[in-house]
A and B are shown apart, each in its own frame.
Chain A
Amino acid sequence: MTAMMGTMSIVEAVIVAVLVVWLGLTVVGQFVRNPNVWRKDPFSIIPRWAFFVGGSIADYSLLFRDRLVDGSYGPWREAPFVRRRVWWHVFFNPASRCRRVGRVLIVQTLSGLHTGAAAGAHENPHCRALMRAALSFPPTAEARAREAIIVRTFGLISNRVPEPIVRLALQSVSTGQTA
């Protein structure tokens, strides 16, 4: 051992030590459940390898519709980041990144509403971020035809089991008159 240490340069020792510590923290990290601990790893250096373990997979959708200047509503549309997979997505699927972000924001919003952590959806930072991003979705065809949107309304739907099959959280956000 001493002989090995003697022949090991400082650079080698540092590199090996970093890799050993990193691996050790990875092992320990697999047992950490407290989300506050993970906040101490802002670069997500410690991987979490428990893929698709635990809670059931659910689908979440963000719906929106536009209220026009005459007070009528257009039809509900699904957020554009939810796209069905096509064959070439086995090579290249950039929308999956947007979908993942949208999914996390929806889950966090519904979770906040469910636990009552926020006074209302408007107080929920994830909900605010989601709505803010959703305001940039292109207007529906009906809204484009009438050249005006004054309010965009949102709905969140989940098929999460065994909890209630559908939850709807409506938000109205003024986008200003765009005519």
Chain B
Amino acid sequence: MIEQVYAVTAGLLGIALLVSTAEHLYNRQEMAPEGLLSWTVLKVGWESSQSAALRHGVAWVMGQRPFTAMLVVQGFATVLMVALAARGVVSAVVQGVILGSQLLVHYRNRYALEGADQMMLIIAAALFCYALAPASVLVASAALWFIALQATLSYLVAGVGKLATPSWRSGEALQVMINSEAYGIASGATVLLHRPHVAKVLSWQVMVVESLFPFTLLLGSPLGAVFLVWGAAFHAGNVLVMGLHRFFWAFLASYPAVWFCMSQRWSE
């Protein structure tokens, strides 16, 4: 069963990584020295007391051509990861390449990072751990618990944080968000602005379910599965309304681990 969980996780992470990598590659012109995604721009505010030699080396690695080449390598490694389904010795190398390249993507794109990138890194690290010791049941379980606890923690923190915010409790924050150009949609904004009670109900639904999400691990299946179904629907809705398409695949990739831990708890 554990191998199947890893295979599904690798498949979903593969989709998330391929979408993300393809988007970075599409933006490669913006990585040129004068572009918005150039290292000259992205390093602003992050320059530290590095030595001149180190700064020069980092600048070279983060330059347009080397970084584009790294992205191509990451794309091939991702295809291999899905094909190998996280098995075998080659898998450790492949997972290492993916984890290393994701760390470089994180380093370069600190301005543009989002929760989806962070979840992809978490899952890539867990798959790398599993690939290092594929015969170890302890490592295999620990890596899946790591993903599951990070996923449930993410919902808990987001839910409790919103509960502590007055504008979320009143529904106003959701209205403003859906009415924004960055994360909104005109038809949704019209509905929520004319029906504030709908905004309030939706806000409370999100806050309560996010805050209770860790109970998936306590409730076990099938009751805990309700949270996973809600989560998948929630992220699908966020894709359509808020344009958070990378979140969908990245967080869905954590669900097999949550399912595994939920089932494990239930069978004890």
Contacts and interface: CB of A to CB of B under 8 A. Distances in A.
Interface of A: 8-9, 11-12, 15-16, 18-19, 22-23, 26-27, 30, 39, 42-45, 47-54, 56-59, 81-82, 84-85, 89-94, 96-105, 108, 125-126, 128-130, 132-133, 135-136, 161
Interface of B: 19, 22-24, 26-27, 30, 34-38, 40-42, 44-46, 48, 103, 106-107, 109-115, 117-119, 121-122, 125-126, 129, 132-133, 136, 138-139, 142-143, 146, 149-150, 153-158, 161-162, 164-165, 167-168, 173, 176-177, 180-183, 185, 239-240, 243, 245
Contact of B143 (A19, A45, A125, A133): A19
A176 B114 CA distance: 37
A97 B139 contact: no
Contacts of B36: 81, 98, 101-102, 133, 136
Nearest to B109: A97
A44 B113 contact: yes
B27 A42 contact: no
Closest 6 CB pairs of A and B: A53-B161, A47-B118, A94-B23, A49-B154, A49-B157, A94-B26
Contacts of A45: 103, 106, 121
A23 to B, nearest CB: 6
Contacts of B245: 89-93
Contacts of B243: 85, 89-90, 93, 96
A130 B132 CA distance: 43
B107 A132 contact: no
B23 A92 contact: yes
Nearest to B177: A57
Nearest to B41: A129
A7 to B, nearest CB: 9
Nearest to A159: B180
22 contacts: A11-B132, A12-B133, A12-B138, A15-B142, A16-B139, A19-B129, A30-B153, A30-B157, A45-B103, A47-B121, A49-B115, A53-B161, A53-B162, A81-B36, A91-B245, A92-B22, A92-B23, A92-B245, A96-B23, A128-B44, A129-B44, A132-B34
Contact of B183 (A42, A44, A57): A57
Nearest to A104: B111
Nearest to B50: A42
Contact of B119 (A15, A47, A59): A47
A43 B107 contact: yes
Given A108-B45, A128-B44, 6 more contacts: A42-B110, A44-B121, A57-B176, A98-B37, A99-B182, A136-B34
Contact of B181 (A59, A108, A129): A59
B19 to A, nearest CB: 6
Given A50-B158, A104-B111, A98 B27 contact: yes
Given A59-B181, A100-B114, A135 B34 contact: yes
Contacts of A96: 23, 243
Given A23-B150, A49-B154, A100 B111 contact: yes
B42 A101 contact: yes
Contacts of B136: 9, 11-12
Contact of A47 (B111, B133, B150): B150
A69 B139 CA distance: 68
A97 B37 contact: yes
B254 to A, nearest CB: 12
Given A57-B177, A93-B23, A129-B41, A43 B106 contact: yes
Nearest to B178: A57
Given A16-B142, A23-B146, A100-B114, A129 B40 contact: yes
A34 B118 CA distance: 19
Nearest to B22: A92
